[in-house]
Amino acid sequence: MPLQLDPRKTALVLIDMQKGTLAFPLAPYDRTTLIANTAALGEAFAEAGGLIVTVRVAFAPDRSDLPPQTIDQPMMLPPGGFPPDWSELAPEIAALPAAVCVTKRHWSAFYGTELDLQLRRRRIETVAIGGIASNFGVESTARDAWQHGYDVIVAEDASSSVGAELHAFAIASTLPRVSRVRSIAEIMAALVPAVAA
């Protein structure tokens, strides 16, 4: 089925496109490619009049608000603590005209934030998601968006992870169960007919 997006009812949600997470060894799309692709998608949404949402993950300097559960594989933390700019968005993403900016402390941009409220107030029906990491923040946000009743699109080449195999598994096996997985070219092309209508 061809993708058609009404930008008045569609939001682009960019997950954790910030200095700290962009320093991870990303694959299959490296830092430079991921920034370029997400920025291009953001510019297309801005031009079409769509809503842009930026999401960042941030914690208190003393890490007191980190999830406290005991787990087998704890979160990757920078040695010596979070640098002061760890949660700053990449300049190319910060330059986008984001109407909503969300700070989260879990994988999903919905959990413990006002994202759902902000989307519903703006009568958003569809969310397009990209960012870091395909199988963590992107996938968790896509699952929650689907559970909240939104149509979900995942921008495959505007998402990346800390291993190509992790990205591939999410894209092939889990995300198609809660979303439509498309390229940024397909998503941008889908915005054009809606603008002309």
Domain of 94: which CATH number?
A: 3.40.50.850
Q: Is 78 among the domain residues?
A: no
- When the pLDDT of each residue in the chain is averaged and rounded to a whole number, the result is 93
Q: Is 94 among the domain residues?
A: yes
CA 117 to CA 113: how far, in whole Å? 9
CA 108 to CA 31: how far, in whole Å? 21
Which of 73-77, 164-168, 186-190 is the least confident region?
A: 73-77
Q: Is 47 among the domain residues?
A: yes
**pLDDT at site 113:** 97
**pLDDT at site 68:** 84
Q: Is 133 among the domain residues?
A: yes
State whether the Cα torsion 118-122-124-128 is positive or negative.
negative
Cα 176 to its chain centre, rounded Å, is 16
Residue ranges making up the domain that contains 38: 7-60+87-196
Q: Is 70 among the domain residues?
A: no
Show Cβ contacts of residue 99 under 8 Å, excluding neighbours closer than 6 positions: 51, 52, 53, 122
- Domains held by the chain: number: 1
Q: Is pTM, for the whole model, over 0.85? A: yes
- Inter-CA distances, 59 with 55, 85, 123, 138, Å: 13, 12, 30, 19
**Is pLDDT larger for residue 158 or for residue 1?**
158
State which H helix or E strand residue 37 sits in.
helix 31-48
Q: Is 39 among the domain residues?
A: yes
Backbone angles phi, psi at 163, to 5 degrees: -175, 135
CA 167 to CA 156: how far, in whole Å? 9
Q: Is 146 among the domain residues?
A: yes
**Is pLDDT larger for residue 67 or for residue 39?**
39
